[in-house]
Amino acid sequence: MLLEVSGLAIDLPSPAGARRVVHDVSFSLDAGDSLGVVGESGSGKTMTALALMGLLPDGARVSGAMRFEGQDLARLGEDAMRKLRGDRIAMIFQEPMSALNPLHRIGAQVAEPLMLHRAMSKGAAWTEAIRLLDRVRLRDPERIAHAYPFALSGGERQRAMIAMALSCGPDLIIADEPTTALDVTVQAKILDLLASLCVSSNMATLLVSHDLAVIARHCRRVLVMYGGTVMESGPADAVLRRARHPYTRALLEARPRPGAPRGERLRAIAGAAPSSASAPIGCPFAGRCPLTLDICRAQALPTVEFEAEHRVRCHRVDATGRLT
């Protein structure tokens, strides 16, 4: 077991006092495995990713455990955490333009973690950076290394970001919406690249996305989050084909389908995502769910496991996975 998260909860400071944005999230990840975290904005998926990196905003409080190779990241000091970041755990950000320093050459930015964690000399790190840029299949890596971020296209920049994340050969890569800022054809290429790199170097990936299709294609397992809570989790195949949770089903129905009749409108989920200040107990989806009963609002969510590792948190789903 590379990573085991159990009972993770995150409180962010707000003018009205601490606000719980992530409730009781548990999952695990084996070396080389891939897990997709799907959810809409405000579902707590990015906060979960940042918690693993120890990069939560100032004043955030973490409870629960995040065991990475046996050591609890939540209890690790900033110095120890800094040694892990960029070395054993790396992160790829959503916006490659803003995640690269506009004033440093690409090569220098890719070389940075190598000089930091591998104590490489500037020259050796630069050579290695060019090799990494080649590995993420950038044409003419020598030229790219000398270029500044503004001179590259969005796809090239994201490849450079991946090269930076790969530089120290991490065990875990956290990718937070890595392709949201890119156009669709480039998206697929970047994700395929990431997947093949993870297989070839046995890296585990945690892919955060709001895009079910992306998760379905690139992750072995999936975690569906809503309002800071895990609603459904399991093998990607099972969750997407035999979705049990009303929220997952609503999400799947909201996708555009090939072959749908012309003029058919996309199904939207009624209502708006809850502000995390509300819903202290009960199901965060209760306000928008077509199946809501009184119990949904009144009682904490049960966890129902009905197939191998396929878990649902819903009052309306029974142990056989059927709706009651």
* 101 lies in the binding site for another protein (CB under 8 A): yes
Other CB atoms within a 10 A radius of the CB of residue 112 amount to: 17
The piece of 30-38, 87-95, 121-129, 291-299 that touches another protein (CB under 8 A) is 87-95
Report d(CA 215, CA 225) in Å as an integer.
13
The residue type of 287 is G
The piece of 5-13, 20-28, 90-98, 259-267 that touches another protein (CB under 8 A) is 90-98
* 99 lies in the binding site for another protein (CB under 8 A): yes
* 116 lies in the binding site for another protein (CB under 8 A): yes
* 8 lies in the binding site for another protein (CB under 8 A): no
CA proximity to 215, closest of 227, 200, 232, 229: 232
**Interstrand relation of 34-38 and 61-68 (parallel, antiparallel or unpaired):** unpaired
* 178 lies in the binding site for another protein (CB under 8 A): no
Report d(CA 236, CA 220) in Å as an integer.
5
- Which residues are bridge partners to 222 per DSSP? 36, 234
* 53 lies in the binding site for another protein (CB under 8 A): yes
What is residue 225's three-state secondary structure? strand
Give rounded-to-5 percent helix, strand, coil for the chain: 35, 25, 40
* 102 lies in the binding site for another protein (CB under 8 A): yes
Query: 94 or 248: whose CB is closer to another protein?
Result: 94
Shortest distance, position 112 Cβ to another protein, whole Å = 6
* 86 lies in the binding site for another protein (CB under 8 A): yes
**Interstrand relation of 172-176 and 204-209 (parallel, antiparallel or unpaired):** parallel
Other CB atoms within a 10 A radius of the CB of residue 72 amount to: 13
Beta-strand runs (E) in the chain: 3-12, 19-29, 34-38, 61-68, 71-72, 89-92, 172-176, 204-209, 221-226, 229-235, 304-307, 310-312
CA 323 to chain centre: 29
Shortest distance, position 87 Cβ to another protein, whole Å = 6
* 105 lies in the binding site for another protein (CB under 8 A): no
Q: Which of 7, 18, 63, 83 binds another protein (CB under 8 A)?
A: 83
CA proximity to 165, closest of 69, 229, 85, 65: 85
Number of residues engaging another protein in binding (CB under 8 A): 27
Name residues contacting another protein, limited to 255-274 (CB under 8 A): none
The piece of 113-121, 221-229, 260-268, 290-298 that touches another protein (CB under 8 A) is 113-121
* 93 lies in the binding site for another protein (CB under 8 A): yes
* 207 lies in the binding site for another protein (CB under 8 A): no
Shortest distance, position 165 Cβ to another protein, whole Å = 8
Q: Which of 3, 73, 74, 90 binds another protein (CB under 8 A)?
A: 90
Q: Which of 4, 40, 76, 82 binds another protein (CB under 8 A)?
A: 82
Chain residues that interact with another protein, rule: CB under 8 A: 53, 55, 58, 82-87, 90-91, 93-95, 98-104, 112-113, 116-117, 161, 164
